[in-house]
Structure 1
C-alpha cells in the first residue's frame, strides 16, 4: 500500500435497503466528491430510468458525476487516477460486474465460469492502491436469497459474492444495511457513535432549536442554500433557561485529553526526509505535526469534514459603538442564503457552516452580561454543538463570530485574563464606507475601561468572567472548545472572540490550548496577545480583515495541501522509512 491517508469503506445491502443513502451520507461534507455511477438510464425501461433519476436528484449539485456504463475498465482507471484531496463514491459494483460479464461474453450456459476470480482480484487491487482521501463503494448482497434458477443468475450471484469478499478484505470498514439500519461488520462507523445508532440517511434540512422550549422544533427547518459552491448552512438558537432547570455544570479544572506527542514527533522526523527539491514545508510544517498529534498517527490525513460555527450576538452599550445590529443581522442572513465573505470562502473550501444565534448581552459597563444560569446553559449548548458535529463525522471545527460589539467585549476578556491594556487591545473601528471611526473607538475604550473597573474586585474564575463580561457568544464558544477537545477534535481560531474563549477555556481544562491551531492573527492586537499567552504561533501572516473565521476559511486549502503533501510524498531515496500509521 502506498503512503497516503485513504479510508476505504464497502456498503452492502439488498434492494431498497438504504445502502446508497448511507454511502452518500458517508461522503457528504468532504469537499470534492466524484460520484461514479456504474449504470445509466435505459430508454426502454421506465422503471429503471426512474430509479437512476432519483439517485441523480439526491446528489448535491457540487458533486462531479461520471457514468462508466458499458466500460468496466473505466472504474479501474478512475480508482488509479484518484487524487488525495478528493472523495470517490462508486454506486454500485453490481452494475460494474454486469458490464464486466457483458464485455467478456461470460453469460452463456456453456461457459459460466469464464471469468473465474478475475473481476474480484483486479478490483480489490485497485481499491488497495487508490489514493483518494475517502473511497466508498456500494454493492448488492444477494447471497441471502435462494439460489437463482438460471445459469446466468447463478453466475452473477457467485461472482458478486467473490467481488464482495475481495473488496471487503481491501477496505477499512464494511457496513451491511437492512431496512435503513447499518450494522458494521468490519471497523466502526466513521461518523461516530451517535451516527451509528441513527438512520442511515439524514435529510438536508435541519431542525432549529426552539428558544422557548429548548428542544428541537420540527416545524422550524432551514433549507440548504442552492449554489453548488456553497457547502450549506443551518441555523440554531440558544435555548432559554427555564425556571428551576437543573443540570450538571461544566467543572473547572477538568482533565481533558492531550494530543499524542510521539505521533507528532514522528511526523516531524518524517517531514525532514520527504523527497522534495527544496527545504520542505517551512512554516506549514507545524500544521503536519499538529494534525499528527491530534489524529494520533504518524502520517496524518487531510481534514475531510470541516464544520464552521458562526456565532452571532449583539452586545449593548458603548462596546458596540460604531457597529449596527441591523448590519450584523444582514450579514448573518446573507450567510444563510449562501452569500457574502464567509459563505464564498466556505464553499470554496468545502466547509459546512452553521449559524448560531445566541441572543444579546447587557451593557457590560453597567451590569453583568448574563446570569450564572445562562452561562451554564450556554456552556452546555456549545459543548453539545461540538459533540453533535463530531458524531456526524466532523474532524475539524472552525469558530467564527459576528455581532455588534463582540470584538470589543473580547478585548475586555483578553485584557482581564492576559493582564493587557484594554485600549491597546481594541481593534480599529471602520464605518460602512471604509473610513476609520476614531470617535467610536474612544467610546469603546471608555466602555471597556468602565466594565473592567466594575468587575476587577470580583473573583476571576471562568464562569464569573463569562457572566460579567463575555456574554452568550463567548460562553457558547468556550463550551464548544471544551466539547471538541473532549472528543479529540482540533479547532481553528483566528479572531478575538475565539481567542478570548480559549483563554477562559484553559481555566476549565488546561489541555484545551493544545488542540487549537491559529492560521492567522489578522493583525488584531488582542489576538496577538492572547495567542502569546496561550503559546499559539500563527501559521500564516495574511492580515485579513474579513470577519472572524474568514481567515481560517481562506487558509484552510493551504493547510490541507500541507497535509496532502506530507501524506502522499515518499521519503527521499536511502532515508529510513517509518512504519505506516494505523488507519493510513
Structure 2
C-alpha cells in the first residue's frame, strides 16, 4: 500500500475529457517524472495525430524524461516493475498501448497474459505511478471486428489495472470523481476538506461538523486521540478576550482523499499568514505613547501575532494548548539516559506534576501528552516503517485539528524521550548538511557532563547517515530512516496547524527538526512557527537559521522541551496586551480630546480694564485609567497651610 495514501492511480476518462491534464497535476509536485509514452508515432499522412502528440510533448516540463514503449508493448510491465521507490512514473495511455499490442506486427501474442503481467507489475510497483486510460465502457459496441477486439482488450486492461491500483478516478468534462475506494473500510465518516468557522480547511464527516476525535491509520483502523488535560489551580486571567483576525473566505488547498483519510504529500498548498497585517502592526508600535524607545526585539512577536490573526492590533493568546510528544529512540541515540526516565516524566505531566504541568497551570494552558511509536536503533535499521510514518503524520495533523476545533489560539510544541537530541541532529545533518558533532549538545548525566555518552551518540548518528546514504532524501524517507515517531508526529502537528491557521510556539530540537521536515512537505508551515528561546542548544540555533526563525529571547533556559516556551509565554502575552492597549502618542493625534467649554454670555456692563495678569490656560489631562470622573477644579476651601481640606 502507498506511503501517501495512494501509490498507484488509474485515471479514466473519455476523449478530450481532461484526463491527461488531471494525471499530470497529480505528479506536479514531484521533482523528476518519467513520462512513459505508449502510443506509436504518427505516420507521414496523419497530420492531426502528429499535432496531438506534439501538444502532449510541449505540455511536459523540462525536468521530465520521456520513455517510449511503442516498439515493444510487453516492455511496459518491465519498466513499471523496475522503477525504484523514489521515482515517479506517468503512463499515458493504455489505449495507445492496447492499439500497439493488437497490431499485427506484434502477433501472434497472448494478449490476456500480457495484460495480467501489466496488472501484476502495477500491483507490486514501488514507485509513485499514475496510469491514464480511455474509458470505452460507455460507448456503443463497435461494428467492426477490429473495433470489438480493441474495446474488449482495453476493457479487460482497465479492469485488471483498476483492481491492482490503490485508487481510481474518472474524469468527466475536466471534473474528477474518485471511484476507488468508494467508502472507508472502517465505519468512520468519509473525511473531506471543508471550510470551518474561520474558513480554514478541516477534516470532517460532512455538514461542517467535526468528527469524533479519531485519526485513521493506513490500515483503516481508528485510533483514539489522547486525553486533553487541564492542570489544576490555573491562575485567574484578566485581559482582552481572545480575538480572531480576518477570516479566510475560501479553502486554501485541495488535498486528495482516499479511504485511509488525508493524503499528506510534498507540495501541499497551505495558507500563509496575512502579509500586510504583520508590517502594519510593527509600524503601529512606533506611534504608541511609551516613554522609552519601544518594544525592542519583542516587536517580532507583535508582528507574528498580527500576521497569524490577520489584524494590525492582535490580541494576547487567551487559549493555549501544550502538546507534549513522548517517544523514545533505541540504540546509541539514547546513550547516557536513565532507562524509563522519559516515561516517568510523561506520566508526571499527565498527573499534573513536574515543571511542564506547573507552568501550564500558571499560564492557564491545557496539556495533552501524546505517545509516539518507539524508534528503532537508527544506526542499524530504519527508525520507523513508512506505514508508521504515515500514521504518525496523520495523528499529528488530527491533533492540531482537534485543538483548532476546541478554540485553541496557540499551540506549544514540546517533546520528551530518550535519544531525541541525536535523532534531531541526524535530521539536521540529512536536511541542512550539518556536522553531527557540531549540533549535538553535551550529555549531562546525574548533574555531570558525560562525554563518553556524547561520543556514542555521535557515532550512532554517523553510522545512521552512512547506512542510509543511498536512501531517498524525501521528507517521509528521512522520518523513516532517521527521525522516528516523535519528530513524525510533531511534523504532522505543524502541517495540521498550518492548514487551520493556528500558530505554533516551538521549543527544543524536536520542534525545529519537525520544522525542517515540514518545510519539504509544505513550505508555508515555517511561517506559522515562533521560536521563543534557543535554549543554548546548537541544533536549535542552526535549524532556526535555516528556517529563518529569529529567537525572541536569549535566556538559555533548559527546563525541558515545552517548559522553556511556557516560561517565556507570560512575557509574550504581556507584550501583546500592552501593544493592544496603549494609545497613540498625543503628538501624533492620539489621546482624548478636551471637552468643549460652555459658552459664556457677554455681560451687559463692560468691565473696567485691568492689567493683564491672567495665567496661560491650562487643562489637566483626563487619565486614561481609573481616576476621578472629572477634571474640573473642586470648590473646596483651603486650610491655612494652603492645601485643600479633606
TM over 0.5: yes
Query: What's the counterpart of residue 577 of structure 2?
Result: 564
**Alignment of structure 1 residues 145-544 onto 2, 5 Å:** 214-215=221-222, 226-228=232-234, 246-431=260-445, 433-544=446-557
Distance in 2 between the 1:216 and 1:537 partners? 36
> Secondary structure at the residue paired with 1:382?
helix
Paired position in structure 1 for 2:150: none
The C-alpha deviation readout for 1:333-376, integer Å capped at 9, x for no partner, is 11111110101111111111100011201000001011111111
Distance 1:445 1:254 in 2: 34
Q: Match of 1:310, SS?
A: strand
Contact 1:191 1:394 in 2 (8 A): no
Q: Whole-Å Cα distance in 2 between the matches of residues 382 and 353 of structure 1?
A: 15
Structure 1: 5+ residue runs without aligned partners? 1-186, 200-205, 232-243, 579-584
**Does the CA-based 8 Å contact 1:207-1:222 persist in structure 2?**
no
Q: In the alignment, which residue of structure 1 is the partner of 2:156?
A: none
Give the Cα–Cα distance (whole angstroms) in 1 for the partners of residues 356 and 406 of structure 2. 22
Q: 1:403 to 1:331 in 2, by over 3 A?
A: same
Query: How far did 1:415 drift?
Result: 1.5
Deviation at 1:557, TM superposition (A): 0.5
Say if 1:230 and 1:347, in contact at 8 Å, map to a contact too: no
Q: Find the partner of 1:547 among 556, 560, 573.
A: 560
**Aligned 8 A contact 1:397 1:491 in 2:** yes
Secondary structure in 1 matching 2:368: strand
1:23-52 CA distance string (max 9 Å, x none): xxxxxxxxxxxxxxxxxxxxxxxxxxxxxx
Structure of greater relative contact order (alpha carbons < 8 Å, 6+ residues apart): 1
Matches of 2:223 and 2:472 in 1, distance apart? 36
In 1: Cα distance, 2:520 partner to 2:590 partner? 41
Q: Match of 1:354, SS? A: strand
Distance 1:508 1:245 in 2: 21
Q: SS in structure 2 opposite 1:302?
A: coil
CA distance in 1, matches of 2:496, 2:227: 25
SS of the aligned residue for 2:373 comes to strand
Alignment TM-score, normalising by the size of structure 2 = 0.54
Counterpart CA distance in 1 for 2:379 and 2:279 is: 47
Rg larger for: 2
Following superposition of structure 1 onto structure 2, how do residues 75-114 of structure 1 map, counting pairs within 5 Å? Answer: none
Cα deviation per residue 1:387-442 (whole Å; 9 max; x = unaligned)?
110011011111100011011101110121111110111011111x3111111111
Contact between 2:231 and 2:358, CA under 8 Å: does it hold in 1? no
Cα-to-partner distance string for 1:265-311 (whole Å, 9 max, x where unaligned): 11111100110000011111110011111111010111111111000
Distance in 2 (CA, whole Å) between partners of 1:209 and 1:401 is 20
What RMSD over aligned residues (CA atoms) do the two structures have, in Å? 3.1
d(CA) in 2 for partners of 1:555, 1:420 = 28
Task: Using structure 1 for the length normalisation, give the TM-score.
Answer: 0.60
Q: Is the 8 A contact 1:542 1:551 kept in 2?
A: no
Instruction: Report the CA distance between 1:566 and its aligned residue.
Output: 0.6
8 Å Cα contact 2:215-2:395 kept in structure 1: no
Inter-partner Cα distance in structure 1 for 2:468 and 2:279: 43
Q: Distance in 2 between matches of 1:508 and 1:210?
A: 20
Match of 1:22 in 2: none
Residues 210 and 265 of structure 1: is their aligned pair in 2 closer, same or farther, counting only changes over 3 Å?
Answer: closer
SS of equivalent residue, structure 1 residue 251:
coil
Whether the aligned pair in 2 keeps the contact of 1:191 and 1:390 (CA below 8 Å) is: no
Q: Secondary structure at the match of 2:327?
A: strand
Measure, in 2, the Cα distance between the counterparts of 1:390 and 1:572: 37
Which one has a larger percent helix, Structure 1 or Structure 2?
1
How far apart in 2 are the matches of 1:325 and 1:209? 30
Q: CA offsets per residue over residues 538-581 of structure 1, 9 Å max, x none? A: 00011111111111100100001110011000010132579xxx
- Structure 2 gaps of 5+ residues are 1-195, 238-257, 592-646
Moved more, 522-531 or 455-464: 455-464
| Alpha carbons 1:386, 1:484 under 8 Å: kept | yes
Distance 2:478 2:569 in 1: 31
